Amino acid sequence: MPFNLKQCHYLVTLADCNSFHQAARTLFITQPTLSIAMKKLEQEMGQPLFQKQGRKAQLTPAGRLALSYARKMLQLDRELARELKALRQNSQRDLHIGTYLLFSTLLMPPLLAAIHKSHLPVDLKLHHRHGFELKDALRRGEFDLILCIQDKPDPEFSCVRLKQETLLAILLPDNPCCQQARPLEGLSWPYLTPAALSGETLFLQSPIQQIRHQEDRLLEQGLKPAACKEIASIETALGLAAEGLGISFTMSCYVKALHPAHPVRYFATGNLQEAPWLTLYYRKELEGDPVLETLIHLLREIVQTIL
- Topology classification of domain 92-164+277-306: D-Maltodextrin-Binding Protein; domain 2 (3.40.190)
Q: Where are the domains of the chain?
A: 5-78, 92-164+277-306, 167-268
Q: CA 102, CA 92: separation in Å to the nearest integer?
A: 27
Please report the pLDDT score of residue 173 as a whole number. Answer: 95
CA 213 to chain centre: 28
- Residue type for 60, please? T
Please report the pLDDT score of residue 289 as a whole number. Answer: 87
Radius of gyration from C-alpha coordinates of the chain: 32
> 5-78 maps to which CATH number?
1.10.10.10
Please report the pLDDT score of residue 149 as a whole number. Answer: 93
Considering the entire predicted model, what is its pTM? 0.68
Give the burial class of 36: count Cβ atoms within 10 A of its Cβ; 0-12 exposed, 13-18 middle, 19 or more buried. Answer: exposed
Please report the pLDDT score of residue 2 as a whole number. Answer: 62
Please report the pLDDT score of residue 88 as a whole number. Answer: 57
Give the burial class of 104: count Cβ atoms within 10 A of its Cβ; 0-12 exposed, 13-18 middle, 19 or more buried. Answer: middle
Residuewise pLDDT in 10s, the chain (307 residues): 567 888 888 889 988 998 888 888 888 888 899 889 889 988 888 889 888 777 788 889 998 999 899 899 988 888 887 766 655 555 568 889 999 888 888 888 898 899 888 888 888 888 988 877 898 899 988 999 999 999 888 888 999 999 999 999 999 999 999 999 999 998 999 999 999 999 999 999 998 888 999 999 999 998 999 999 999 899 999 999 999 999 999 999 999 889 999 999 999 999 999 999 999 999 888 888 888 898 999 999 998 888 7
Three-class HEC string of the chain: CCCCHHHHHHHHHHHHHCCHHHHHHHHCCCHHHHHHHHHHHHHHHCCCCEEEECCEEEECHHHHHHHHHHHHHHHHHHHHHHHHHHHHHHHCEEEEEEECHHHHHHHHHHHHHHHHHHCCCEEEEEEECCHHHHHHHHHCCCCCEEEEEECCCCCCCEEEEEEECCEEEEECCCCHHHHHCECCCCCCCCECCHHHHCCCEEEECCCCCHHHHHHHHHHHCCCCCCEEEECCCHHHHHHHHHCCCCEEEEEHHHHHHCCCCCCCEEEECCCHHHCCEEEEEECHHHCCCHHHHHHHHHHHHHHHHHC
- Topology classification of domain 167-268: D-Maltodextrin-Binding Protein; domain 2 (3.40.190)
Please report the pLDDT score of residue 91 as a whole number. Answer: 59
Q: How many CB atoms lie within 10 A of CB 156?
A: 12
Q: Tell me, yes or no, if the two domains 5-78 and 167-268 fold the same way.
A: no
